[in-house]
Amino acid sequence: MLKVTQDPAVISFGGGLPAAELFPVEDVSAAQDRVMKTRGAAALQYSVTDGIPELRTWVAERLRTHQGLEVDGDDVVITGGSQQGLDLYARVFLDPGDVVALENPSYLGAIQAFDAFEPSYLAIESDASGMIPAALAAALERAAPLPKFLYIVPNYENPTGNTLVAERRPQIVDICARYGVPILEDDPYGEIAFDGPPPPALLSHGAKGAVTYLGTGSKMVAPGLRVAWMVIPDHDLRDKIVTAKQGADLHSCSYAQYVFHAYVEDEPRLAAHLARVRAAYKLRRDAMIDALQREMPSHVHWNAPAGGMFLWATVGAGIDTEELFERAVRDAVVFVPGRPFYPSRDRGDGMRLNFSAMPEERIAEGIRRLARAVREQDATQP
């Protein structure tokens, strides 16, 4: 897919890319200048493994202010993107043959990170309201052995765009506590809310140490800085994560941490930037939904996510979206077929559509091309 999308004629709904034209380039450049004038030597030097204190304090304060979470800077470890957080958590918890519980479908990048440690997966049924607590309880009751942890993306989930509804969140935390299963809560999209903030984090419902929370600056500011964070209230676990990180990279880039902090510490500036991003992505989501309604055959269905960067469509009618992808490429449009998001790769009728990276007119044209590919695929079905 990456090779195909190098062609500018191709319209891509495939990558999980924020809109590059919305990156705050001038403000980040100014932040960089301030850092080099005031903290230049420190920004270019080795630093502590768990992250510069100023940034860890900022993360804790933002989570307290915006989500009501009782955390402090000592709970925070800065990572090189959320993907490193997934890897570090897996390094601590997993050995070959262990079990990971997760949503079905689930984030492909997490599955890839966990696969390196050769686990098996316990896929928990989800619906438009997120993971189903009764399905989780039944799965854990039958599980032998129990999963080492539950991985979940509660807000505007990748790939589906669905959000775990408020009433299910404490239920899921309570079920996991009953079986002694820790939770890894991954929240890369929670700041990109279109109609008010998402429900409180699972971290707010758990006993101290029951939930580890991942957040990131990639969707808030820019992914190229690779600044993200783990909130680990269990300090025994935190020490193990820090030790694993020492072996992985010694510490995340000092320079990027200082520049990121210099940008985000101005709250009005950050708020204005996030408002622009949310407004633009909401328009693009609406443009994609309008185009789907206008162009797609009646057997294609989709959701309307309340935030984030993706929506999920199912094509039905016996179509495998991996085959549809090959046909769509010929029409110069791409998406991510759904099968790899299922741990057992046992369902192939879905597709993830990214709406954040394309302007509205390109979205409309891309959906028109994709609908043509669907109709052509329909014609080949028995």
Tokens of 49: 């493994």
86 Ramachandran zone, left/alpha/beta (phi>0; psi -120 to 50): alpha
Measured CA to CA, the distance from residue 8 to residue 90 in angstroms comes to 38
Nearest to 132 by CA among 143, 142, 140: 140
Q: pLDDT at position 229, please?
A: 98
Q: For strand 228-231 and strand 211-216, is the pairing parallel, antiparallel, or unpaired?
A: antiparallel
Total length of the chain: 382
Name the pLDDT band for 148 (thresholds 50, 70, 90): very high
Kindly report the number of other CB atoms within 10 A of residue 161's CB atom.
26
Tell me what the mean pLDDT of segment 74-100 comes to.
Answer: 98
Q: Is the peptide bond before 133 cis (omega within 30 degrees of 0)?
A: no
Name the pLDDT band for 4 (thresholds 50, 70, 90): confident
Q: What is the DSSP string of 79-90?
A: ESSHHHHHHHHH
Q: pLDDT at position 240, please?
A: 98
Q: pLDDT at position 379, please?
A: 87
Measured CA to CA, the distance from residue 94 to residue 97 in angstroms comes to 8
Q: pLDDT at position 252, please?
A: 97
Percent of the chain past pLDDT 90, that is, above it, reads 93
Percent of the chain past pLDDT 70, that is, above it, reads 99
Token pair 């309008």 is found at: 290
Q: What is the pTM of this model?
A: 0.96
Name beta bridge partners: 319: none
Tell me what the mean pLDDT of segment 43-51 comes to.
Answer: 97
Q: For strand 333-334 and strand 130-131, is the pairing parallel, antiparallel, or unpaired?
A: unpaired
Q: pLDDT at position 258, please?
A: 98
Measured CA to CA, the distance from residue 215 to residue 13 in angstroms comes to 24
DSSP tally for the chain: helices H, then strands E: 12, 14
Average pLDDT, the chain: 96
Q: Cβ distance 151 to 185 under 8 Å?
A: no
Measured CA to CA, the distance from residue 19 to residue 377 in angstroms comes to 31
Q: pLDDT at position 208, please?
A: 84
Name the pLDDT band for 209 (thresholds 50, 70, 90): confident
DSSP class of residue 71 equals: -
Tokens of 70: 């009782």
Ordered structural domains, the chain, with CATH:
4-17+269-380 (3.90.1150.10), 26-265 (3.40.640.10)
Q: pLDDT at position 201, please?
A: 97
Q: pLDDT at position 381, please?
A: 78
Q: pLDDT at position 226, please?
A: 97
Tell me what the mean pLDDT of segment 207-223 comes to.
Answer: 95
Tell me what the mean pLDDT of segment 276-286 comes to.
Answer: 98
CA 50 to chain centre: 22
Q: pLDDT at position 31, please?
A: 97
The answer, yes or no, to whether residue 224 has pLDDT greater than 90, is yes
Residue 333's Cβ-side half-sphere holds a number of Cα atoms within 13 Å equal to 23
Enclosing H/E stretch for 53: helix 53-67
The answer, yes or no, to whether residue 66 has pLDDT greater than 90, is yes
Measured CA to CA, the distance from residue 184 to residue 166 in angstroms comes to 17
Name the pLDDT band for 207 (thresholds 50, 70, 90): confident
pLDDT in tens, 292-319: 999 999 999 999 999 999 999 999 878 9
Residues in contact with 267: Cβ distance below 8 Å, sequence separation at least 6, in sequence order: none
Residues in contact with 21: Cβ distance below 8 Å, sequence separation at least 6, in sequence order: none
Residues in contact with 339: Cβ distance below 8 Å, sequence separation at least 6, in sequence order: 320, 321, 322, 345, 347, 348, 350
Name the pLDDT band for 7 (thresholds 50, 70, 90): confident
The answer, yes or no, to whether residue 282 has pLDDT greater than 80, is yes
Nearest to 215 by CA among 359, 82, 362, 35: 82
